[in-house]
Copies of this chain bind each other. A is one copy, B any other.
């Protein structure tokens, strides 16, 4: 099933009773009702700008960094050492969860030297996850899959990572594609707790990258287990994959920082600038010609 939330007053493919956040706290009861509504509403014709994020606000966004190639390249870019446990313990921070933007929300320009960047990611939304849940048990808590743009201020990151305390100012609000999708809708593309499909990012109408999200080193189940080690996760918790990145450089990137690092490795100089006002970022995941999550289509204000 596909779930979305209408912007403004419209409610679309959406919550028969209460909010999606409430529905996730009793998913087995809520799902059949949502399915009924889906049947009756899925024919609606709507513009992308009619949609909010599927979950416009939630209790926690725990964003992993599960694509090793992204970590290798961005650390190389800021001349930082690789973590010793790079391949054994996932990196994860807690990000903004009270402002989850819709697919066409403008990206604020922020400071001209902040290094404004996009990061294409896959996310999952869980129901209630008890503290101490193992990776083996975690898969069943994945109720929805989403596509998001984790906006990043690249030049503010080194100082904040240097404090050890994580990203407070360098990770502004993320934006979400309109449709949250139950794993069964993804067919054989959802396996091993990963989405095995390319995430296509366009910058100003040209393809910027289409790396396969299946190359995730840690699965979503492993990320959930890491997050839930010493805390429960509330229904509605979003777990992010981190920037989708592949070892093969020919598939391009899901963020500007990686391309700049590849340019430095190849030519000694980064030539692709970070985002500036007027730039347009689009993201999408397609399967059999069909857009699974709908599009993210943001412009820098």
Q: What is the interface of chain A, defined by CB distance below 8 A to chain B?
A: 57, 59-60, 62, 65, 80, 83, 85, 89, 91-99, 108, 110, 131, 153, 156, 159-170, 172-173, 226-227, 229-234, 237
User: Which residues of B have CB within 8 Å of A156?
Assistant: 230
A sample of 19 more A-B contacts (CB under 8 A), given A62-B168, A170-B230, is A57-B59, A59-B59, A60-B97, A65-B165, A92-B165, A94-B168, A98-B234, A99-B231, A99-B234, A108-B131, A110-B230, A153-B230, A160-B164, A161-B165, A163-B164, A166-B166, A168-B227, A169-B229, A169-B230
Closest residue of chain B to A173, judged by CB? B231
- Chain B residues with CB under 8 A of A60: 96-98
The listed residue (B96, B161, B164, B230) touching A172 by CB distance below 8 A is B230
Asked if B163 contacts A91 (CB within 8 A), the reply is yes
CB closest residue in chain B, given A57: B59
- On chain B, the residues within 8 Å of A91 by CB distance are 163, 165
Question: Which residue in chain B gives the minimum CB-CB distance to A156?
Answer: B230
Which residue in chain B gives the minimum CB-CB distance to A164?
B161
On chain B, the residues within 8 Å of A170 by CB distance are 230
Grouping DSSP codes into helix (H, G, I), strand (E, B) and loop, the A interface class, with mixed when no group exceeds half, is loop
Closest residue to A97 on the B side, CB-wise? B59
Q: What's the Cα separation between A160 and B227 when bound, in Å?
A: 12
A94 partner, pick from B83, B94, B153, beta carbons under 8 A: B94
16 contacts between A and B (CB under 8 A): A57-B234, A59-B59, A59-B97, A59-B98, A65-B165, A91-B165, A93-B165, A93-B166, A94-B166, A98-B232, A99-B231, A110-B230, A161-B165, A162-B164, A164-B164, A170-B230
Query: CA–CA, A159 to B261, complex, Å?
Result: 27
Q: Measured between C-beta atoms, what is the minimum distance from A273 to chain B in Å?
A: 20
Closest approach, in angstroms, between the C-beta of A300 and any C-beta of chain B? 14
Q: State A162–B156 Cα separation when bound (angstroms).
A: 18
A234 to B162, CA, bound (A): 27
A260 to chain B, nearest CB (A): 20
A166 to B163, CA, bound (A): 9
Select one of B59, B164, B173, B226 contacting A168, CB under 8 A: B226
A165 to B227, CA, bound (A): 13
- A83 vs B91: C-alpha distance in the bound complex, in angstroms? 22
Interface centre among A60, A166, A233 (most CB of B within 10 A): A166
Shortest distance between the CB of A81 and any CB in chain B (Å) = 10
User: Taking CB as reference atom, which chain B residue is nearest A227?
Assistant: B168
Tell me the complex Cα distance, A112–B56, Å. Answer: 39
Instruction: Give CA–CA (A160, B92) in the complex, Å.
Output: 9
A65: shortest Cβ distance to chain B, in Å? 8
Residues of B within 8 A of A97 (CB): 59-60
Task: For residue A72, give the distance in angstroms from its CB to the closest CB of chain B.
Answer: 15
Interfacial chain B residues near A167, Cβ < 8 Å: 165-166
User: How many Å from the CB of A214 to the closest CB on chain B?
Assistant: 24
